[in-house]
Amino acid sequence: MKIGVLTSGGDAPGMNAAIRAAVRQADSLGHEAWGIYRGYQGLLDGDMEPLPSRACANILQRGGTMLRTARCKAFHDPDVRAKAAEKLKAAGIEALVVIGGDGSFRAAETLLREHGVACAGIPGTIDNDLPGTDRTLGFDTALNTAVEAIDRIRDTASSHGRLFLVEVMGRASGMLAVHTAIACGAEAVLYPESPDDSYEALVTQLEENWKRGKRSSIVVVAEGDAVGGRAMAVGERLKRDHELDLRVVVLGHVQRGGSPSALDRIWGSRWGSEAVRRLDRGERGFYLGEVAGALVAQPLSRILEPQPVPPGDLGRLVAVLAR
């Protein structure tokens, strides 16, 4: 059996670990792995070739994805998806391992439903915003990258007695922001799922901190926050309304890169191997995840469910611990 492997959407640390494991597991079972470059766009362009086991040497510790990635808006067109299915058929590829996030899995679910393509998904996104799994590839690395950066920023905040607003990634999810805020001891966090009065609560929190003698603060802001706005907008509002001495730092794409953490390497390896083993047994239309420490498989149709939100107690915990 020929098994295609592609990475799609935003890159995430640990993707290379998953590619490596999928390719080498396929080889051990007597299957032929094919690398599809630049995600679904590369599939449409026919940018694919056999991927032997040794082609994956020395990639486990590398960030990004050796298969490269792209976003393919054209894939929303049913005619384009039909063309993609024909490309797979012409190449003799009978199954597809898709490493990516929400959009990548939705495309895979559509390929399965419309054209019967046997798809297996591996959750690769720093946003950690997929239903049915507690973990996604890249989240742990991105979290540690953000925390390390904020630890450095706090040194300057303390020295100058200043407020810093630090924007982290996460698309429309607050998972990365909330976990970062707890791990770095932030005074507050703003994220898409925050209550509607989150900006007012932030101002109250900062005022109370000042009265208690706290002269520096870190506020983590999710890039997708629809209530308070992104960090620059929040900063301008605080300057205008309260004349606060503050600085804004946007961590941006630095969170995507770098060597993956041990956890992302381990789960990438486990999921890559398991995806191929399940395809070898004839399973199709699933994506893998982790729930309470156990490896699980979910039907691809679950990707159509609402995205998970950060547990409410985590947001409240940030304020409690900042006292």
Q: Is 109 annotated as a binding residue?
A: no
| Neighbour order of strands in the sheet with 93-100 | 48-50, 32-36, 2-7, 93-100, 118-123, 286-291, 294-299
Residue 101 is labelled as binding a ligand: yes
Q: Is 103 annotated as a binding residue?
A: yes
d(CA 122, CA 171): 19
**315 known ligand binder:** no
Tokens of 24: 């080498």
Q: Is 119 known as a binding-site position?
A: no
Number of Cβ atoms within 10 Å of the Cβ of 311:
12
Q: What angle do CA 246, 227, 190 make, to 5 degrees?
A: 50
**Is 23 labelled a binding residue?**
yes
Among 11, 127, 129, 140, the active-site one is: 127
Q: Identify the three-state secondary structure at position 246.
A: strand
Active site residue 127: yes
* Residue 230 CA from chain centroid, whole number: 19
Q: Is 265 annotated as a binding residue?
A: no
CB atoms near residue 116 (< 10 Å) = 11
Distance between CA atoms of 295 and 25, rounded to whole angstroms?
Answer: 17
214 is in an annotated binding site: yes
Q: Is 118 annotated as a binding residue?
A: no
62 assigned ligand-binding residue: no
Residues flagged as binding site for Mg(2+): 102
Which of the residues are catalytic? 127
Residues flagged as binding site for substrate: 125-127, 162, 169-171, 223, 247, 253-256
Residues flagged as binding site: 10, 20-24, 71-72, 101-104, 125-127, 154, 162, 169-171, 185-187, 211, 214-216, 223, 247, 253-256
Residues flagged as binding site for ATP: 10, 71-72, 101-104
